Copies of this chain bind each other. A is one copy, B any other.
Amino acid sequence: MDDGKPLKLRPDFEKAGGLIPAIAQDHGTGEVLMLAYMNPESYQRTLDTGEAHYWSRSRKELWHKGATSGNIQKIKGIYLDCDLDAILLKVEQVGGVACHTGRRSCFHHRWEGGSLYAVV
């Protein structure tokens, strides 16, 4: 065990094929807001700026979350999992809205009784 000692570790982008899933969680409430992907550049930008940057798979470009909407995510903590192939961001969600639908969280389809329901 090396708890408390610094490790020269970074996300293992190579193993994951270049992109790693990143979970954004509200640092205060614990609500899971969204899941997006990071490549090395977006991870480094996130570290350097203290604001969440992702890689947009649909637009194939660096994505500074909130750059147009104003709903940026201020980084409060960054965690990597045991295999170094998943990222957890604790964020302050400026504007209170993470989803492009205007909802706080992107996870607004709830499975219940055999169907999925859209919930606020």
Contacts and interface: CB of A to CB of B under 8 A. Distances in A.
Among A8, A30, A116, chain B packs the most CB atoms within 10 A around the CB of A116
Contacts of A103: 82
Interface residues of A, number: 46
- Say what secondary structure dominates the interface of chain A: loop
B3 A120 contact: yes
Interface in A77-92: 77-84, 86, 88
A82 B110 contact: no
A106 B80 CA distance: 8
Interface of A: 1-10, 21, 23, 25, 29-32, 34-35, 47, 77-84, 86, 88, 99-101, 103, 106-111, 115-120
